[in-house]
Amino acid sequence: MREKATYALGILGAIVMIWNLHHIFTQMAPEAAQGMAGWILFIHVPADFMGDILYTIALVTSILFLVKKDFTYDSISVACIEVGTMFILVNLVTGSIWGKNQWGIWWTWDLRLTTQLMKFLLYLGYLVVRPAIAEATQRATMSAFIAIFAYADVPLVMMAIRLPNVRTQHPSPVIETGGINSVAVPFVVGIIAQLLMALALMLVRLHQENTRREIDSLRRELHAL
């Protein structure tokens, strides 16, 4: 049942993403200044949304783990962070391709871009450090602290294009500049597609984490025999 649900969610997510691309090509006119490169927005922004949503869930479950010492919260945290980091990588790469087209450069040390890269590296650090700790409770506790610390960068990224007196090349959010009406459908559908994919990947990752805990307890049992 779990496997069927996972496949269904993943395939549905992929279909919705392909439908969205079809909708963009058949229903929308290319953006006046950017041409078709403007449509990169429909994968670039939802990927960041997904990453931030998953990191926020990981923050809550990390705090809950520290309070309740329940390993289910640790499993949810690591699943969220792993899948979220994949989405942030999609965001960084698609943003870089958009930047090359619009600015003529792949990368610039702009406040928004730099804080976003920092976010990616902080959570990548979480994923690198975690397997290095052998003892389960110690691993989960240390991971929870890193997840809470890393989250400090999430509001920084959001504020990077909103703070006064900060010069940034990054465009302002379309929602806040009133441009959302013309792009609402592909934008929302893009978020739904990535949400479905994230759910499918989370289910797989959660199952793996539970199996890993079962392996740990079997190892302890073997040691005791």
Partner 1 sequence: MDVTNLRFLFYAYSAAWIIITIFVLMLVSRGRKIDRELARLKALVEDKERS
* Cα distance between residue 124 and residue 130, in whole Å: 10
Helix 180-224 and helix 71-102: axis angle, to 10°? 140
Cβ–Cβ < 8 Å for 120, 92: yes
| Residue linked to tokens 């450090």 | 129
Site string for partner 1, 42-81 (x = CB under 8 A): -xx--x----------------------------------
CB of 129 to partner 1, least distance (A): 18
CB of 47 to partner 1, least distance (A): 7
| Residue linked to tokens 């989405």 | 87
Residues 6+ apart with CB under 8 A from 225: none
Residue number, 154 or 190, with CB nearest to partner 1: 190
Is position 39 an interface residue for partner 1 (rule: CB under 8 A)?
A: yes
CB of 119 to partner 1, least distance (A): 16
* Cα distance between residue 184 and residue 161, in whole Å: 21
Is position 21 an interface residue for partner 1 (rule: CB under 8 A)?
A: yes
SS3 for 35? strand
The size of the chain, in residues, is 225
Part in contact with partner 1 (CB under 8 A); list of ranges 50-58, 127-135, 164-172, 204-212 = 204-212
Structure tokens at 102: 């619009």
Is position 108 an interface residue for partner 1 (rule: CB under 8 A)?
A: no
Is position 182 an interface residue for partner 1 (rule: CB under 8 A)?
A: no
Provide the total of helices (H) and of strands (E) in the chain, helices listed first: 7, 0
Residue number, 114 or 208, with CB nearest to partner 1: 208
Number of residues that bind partner 1 (CB under 8 A): 38
In the complex, the residues that contact partner 1 under the rule CB under 8 A are: 10, 21, 29-30, 34-40, 43-44, 47, 86, 89-90, 93-94, 97-98, 100-101, 197, 201, 204-205, 207-208, 211-212, 214-215, 218-219, 221-222, 225
